[in-house]
Every structure is written in C-alpha cells, then in structure tokens.
Amino acid sequence: MRFSPTKPIVIIVLTLVALGIGVFAFVGSRKTAPEIPLVVEPVKRNQKHAVIGHSVEGRDIESYTYGNGATHLAFIGGVHGGYEWNSVLLAYRFIDFLEENPDALPDNLTVTVIPSANPDGVYRVVGKSGRFAVTDVATDQQTLASGRFNANEVDLNRNFDCKWKPESTWKTKVVSAGSAPFSEPETKALRDFVSEYHPDAVIFWHSQANAVYASECREGILPKTLAIMNAYSEASGYSAVKSFDSYEITGDAEGWLASIGVPAITVELKTHDTIEWERNLAGITALFGYYERER
C-alpha cells in the first residue's frame, strides 16, 4: 500500500476547521446571551392609569395611581373646570413629579391623582382634552367664567350629597346644583371612585382664596381633617381656615366626604393663573411626612 502524503494534511485541516467552528460558536453564543443581573432593584413607577368615568360630552375622567402602600391619598384638580384651569396644571405637574421622583413617595402610601374632574369645563376654555399649555387658555373673562360649569351648566361642587339643594350660590350668583345629588356623570365618577378605593383622605385643588379649608357636613370637622389641614398650611404658607363662611355652600364634595367619614381639605391657590408649585410641593411633602409617621 502506497503512502499518500496528502492524507494527513487533509485530516489536520479538517480538524482545525472543526475546532474553529466550535470556538466561533462558543464565542458567538457568549456574545449574544443575555446578561442576568445579580440583583434586581424594585422600581416605583406609575402603577395604574384608569378612566374612572366620562363627562356629559363623553370626555375621559382619568386617574393616575402610584405606590402600593396601605394608606391611600387622593388629589383632585379641576372640579371647576376651565375657570380654575391652574388647578388642573398643578395636578399634572404633580403627576410628572411622581414619575420623575419615585422615591419621594413613602412605602406606606398609595397616591391617586385625578387631574381634571370637569373636562368639559376645561375644554370650553382651552379647546383641548387632556393636557394643555398656558398658551391654550382663553383670556376672555366670560369664557373663563363659563368654564366653571359642566356641559349641563351645573356647578359640580354643588352636586354632592351634603345639605344638597337644587340651587346654590357662587359669590353673589345663583347656580344650578343639578336635579338631585350625583345627577351629573362627573360627580358620579368621583363618588364611585371613593366607593371602590376608599381613600383615607382627599385633597382638592381650587383657586383663588390663598387658603386651606377643612371640610364638614352635619357632624362637624373630623379630627384628622384638622391635622392634615394644619400640616399642609404650615408647610405651604396658605392660611388655615376651619370653615368657609363667605356665603352659603350646599352640596360640596368635601362636605359629602366628611359625612361619610373621609377627611378632606380644599387647597385654594392664591391666583387663577399660576400653579404655585413650590408651595404645593411643600404641602404635599408635609402630608407624606404626616402619614409616614402615622404608619
């Protein structure tokens, strides 16, 4: 049998090629394999965006909920729609703050923000649904005043079930309070939200009285209402006022909450055209601290 010098060379070449393919596959698999972190840090982010109801004209009433704590606080803007448009922008600014600063929320808290409780009234003034800019806001005073009401021309903060009457007052004007308590879809949405989620306290943003008001109905002021009113007031610099007595108010949301045992305060901004963010952030932070100590 004749010896062929090419046979060992072929075997060697084939062996090297096989080894090369194996090394390439091994290296390639290492490059494409996902890296598994040793520790996965929990991230607090927007836990839930929901539509809790609709306005007369069908616009969404939205809520944004953060955290998983046992104590639930709700912040609500825009009950008086476009007339108090700055309360809506303040609520959206708070939403952005919670997104940007997840660690600012104590672990024992859940926070829900309802930025625009009267979206039809806002639309009448800014011509948009959802978020808007200051430059979108109408400057005509009659248009601004008309944005206080919903599309049925009802003052929503007179349509809740505390001392309700079919007509109520706003300054020197007689306003419609609807055909019955919760006759309006917007107030039904807030009522159903409270019924489902049972917030431990509710904070409403309005304008423009430069004060923080406690709430009451027929049984007086709840002790915790005074505590959170004072905490927000002291931190923000808004005056603390136990009872609104400039004129008679019936069917207000805060009074209804007091009647069912839920502490509620009304934060009235100083102006109609600024959100006064630093003052309100101080008040919010004070509330967070109060409820963190209460755990």
Q: Which of 132, 134, 101 is closest to 284 using CA atoms?
A: 101
Question: Domain coordinates of the chain in residue numbers?
Answer: 46-293
The pTM of the full predicted model, rounded to 2 decimals, is 0.84
Give the mean pLDDT of 183-199: 98
46 falls in which pLDDT band (50, 70, 90)?
low
295 falls in which pLDDT band (50, 70, 90)?
confident
Topology of the domain covering 46-293: Aminopeptidase (3.40.630)
Pairing of strands 264-269, 201-207: parallel
**pLDDT of residue 43 exceeding 50:** no
- What is the DSSP track for 141-208? HHHHHHTTS-TTSB-GGGSSSSS--SEEEETTEEEE--SSTT-SHHHHHHHHHHHHH--SEEEEEEES
pLDDT in tens, 243-282: 887 778 899 999 999 999 999 999 999 999 999 999 999 9
Q: How far apart are CA 214 and CA 168, in angstroms?
A: 20
Percent of the chain predicted with pLDDT > 90 = 80
User: Cβ contacts of residue 282 below 8 Å, gap of 6+?
Assistant: 235, 236, 237
pLDDT in tens, 96-123: 999 999 999 999 999 999 999 999 999 9
Give the mean pLDDT of 188-193: 98
Number of Cβ within 10 Å of residue 167's Cβ equals 13
Find residue 51's DSSP bridge partners: 62
pLDDT in tens, 49-68: 999 999 999 999 999 999 99
